[in-house]
Structure 1
């Protein structure tokens, strides 16, 4: 009986290899040969699933949210979600490095930029919902606009994440700044 192949799973395996290379060497290090070697398959196999490097990168960009969604799936409080977005461990650091590599690519690639906009919108909505819930519980001031505050908090976390990646702030210092900001909007 012929072996049944899950083509979508194979594409995801190739995308995972792209992300590993991007985390280590940036997108400059991503080539069909390097991806094939990282995935443990032939270059022809990669080409079977992706007609070009651009196609491969665009597909890999669609898979970026996976790691982030795993980390933010359980937080029920604003602070916990914001801390989960910081690159505080190896997985978070890799996700941040890959996202930053793709961010540069998104500036020139409208399809990848669209994935970023969609992901950011979903994340902003999740933070805004947690803010509204915290207001209903009496933890955050009623004067806070959940949508606007979600935008500010995500900008804060993005900047703090870059600071942690670059080593001019520790994870503990970044968390302390999140706590400081949240204390300013507490009820």
Structure 2
């Protein structure tokens, strides 16, 4: 009797291989053959899961976005008694991918951001991911500050988090310096809300 394959599990396995390869050599270094080797599956298995390289990249980007969103959500669920300000700080730190254990994920995320500039399907996924994160930050900022325009503050916070990711990856800032910048921004945001 033929072995049953969990198709969705296989797709995630391949997406993980895409991310590992992208971390090592950028998205230009991701080939179907290398992905098959890294995922320890046949080329045929990769092609059965994904008709094209772009389809494979789209799934891998969605997979990363889901992992980041899941961590942010877990932060919110883990400590529901926290203030909105504390929760927002934790969420912003997760979004910025500043911890050492997130460095590979940050490199892969930025590789996808760069590729999205020339790949409309990837850009669409990123827009949806950022819209979801912006809605979350807008809600938390509104709860924490009572400001009348939390959308603007949420957009600024997301842009700052992305910028800090880049600055840490290239060594312009240490993770600690980036966290100080983020904390300073949040402190100013709270101060602006009370004036």
After TM superposition, the score normalised by the length of structure 1 is 0.89
Is 1:5 equivalent to 2:5 in the alignment? yes
Is 1:168 equivalent to 2:172 in the alignment? yes
54-63 vs 114-123, greater mean Cα deviation: 54-63
Distance 2:110 2:117 in 1: 11
Contact 1:86-1:92 within 8 A present in 2 as well: no
TM-superposed deviation, 1:87: 2.8
Distance 2:14 2:38 in 1: 9
Give the SS at the match of 2:118. coil
* Superposition map of 1:87-126 within 5 A: 87-126=97-136
Alpha-carbon RMSD across the aligned residues, in angstroms, is 1.7
* Count of aligned positions: 181
TM-superposed deviation, 1:159: 0.8
**Which residue pairs with 1:155 in the alignment?**
159
Contact 1:86-1:160 within 8 A present in 2 as well: yes
Q: Which runs of 5+ in 2 are unaligned?
A: 77-86
Contact 2:22-2:29 within 8 A present in 1 as well: yes
Distance 2:57 2:73 in 1: 25
* Superposition map of 1:1-187 within 5 A: 2-76=2-76, 77-135=87-145, 142-143=146-147, 145-186=149-190, 187=194
**Which residue pairs with 2:79 in the alignment?**
none
Give the SS at the match of 1:73. helix
TM-superposed deviation, 1:47: 1.7
Structure showing the higher helix proportion among its residues: 2
15-24 vs 88-97, greater mean Cα deviation: 88-97
Contact 1:68-1:95 within 8 A present in 2 as well: no
Give CA-to-partner distance per residue, 1:90-137, whole Å, 9 cap, x none. Answer: 4421221111111122112211111000000000000111111212xx
Give the SS at the match of 2:153. helix
Distance 1:168 1:67 in 2: 26
Distance 1:47 1:143 in 2: 50
